[in-house]
Amino acid sequence: MRQVKPLVMLILTLLLTSSLSGCIGLVASRELMEWTRGVPETDEKTQAYQFNHTFESTNLDTFFNPPPQEIEFDSEVKSIRIYFRVVMDFSEIGGIDTNNLTSTVRYVHARLWEPGADKNVDEPFWQENATSDRYPPQQRFYPPFEVGTWELEVEAQGYGLTTIVDQISFHDEFEVSVSVVRPCILFPERANEDDCVPV
């Protein structure tokens, strides 16, 4: 308890002298603040861009083609993660694969385009096309990436049917997600635990 008292007195003396001594006091105050502040840490900040849709029986428009999502890439992008999932019930009936019969009316086609790509002749950076249940593993890509505005687009067609018999009800659905990972700095004195300042 006796050791705490001299430390408190020292801090009070520094504060008092810094408030009374003009510019020199500002230097002492700044040094005191630097001394009490913790060390910042490097972390990652992830921003997700996604499309997900469930086809409902009440929706007569079975075609889903929203405007592309624009994703800004700069030189700080550390990696990108892409997740793709499609659920199409009854794509197999009694052991018979029916997706070849329905592939023109039930499909999901997702593409990620680099900046400046000509969509008529160029290949997309990434694409998936599904006409039945599809759960590929999440994919991860690393630099170098083209700096600029990338585009995530999806085109899909599916059906949904709700009946009083649960076993024959179905709703086609999908999810496409692109997560962009950048480095950031966590300061110990941040107000919000999730605040991570971009590098």
pLDDT (tens place) for every residue of the chain, 199 residues total: 555 677 677 777 766 665 655 666 666 666 666 666 667 777 788 999 999 999 887 665 688 999 999 999 999 999 999 999 999 876 554 455 555 545 567 899 999 999 999 999 999 999 999 988 899 999 999 999 999 999 999 999 988 877 777 777 778 999 999 999 999 887 766 556 566 667 7
Burial of 188 (0-12, 13-18, 19+ CB in 10 A): exposed
Q: Which helix (H) or strand (E) holds 197?
A: strand 197-198
pTM above 0.75, yes or no: no
Q: What 3-state class would DSSP assign to 111?
A: strand
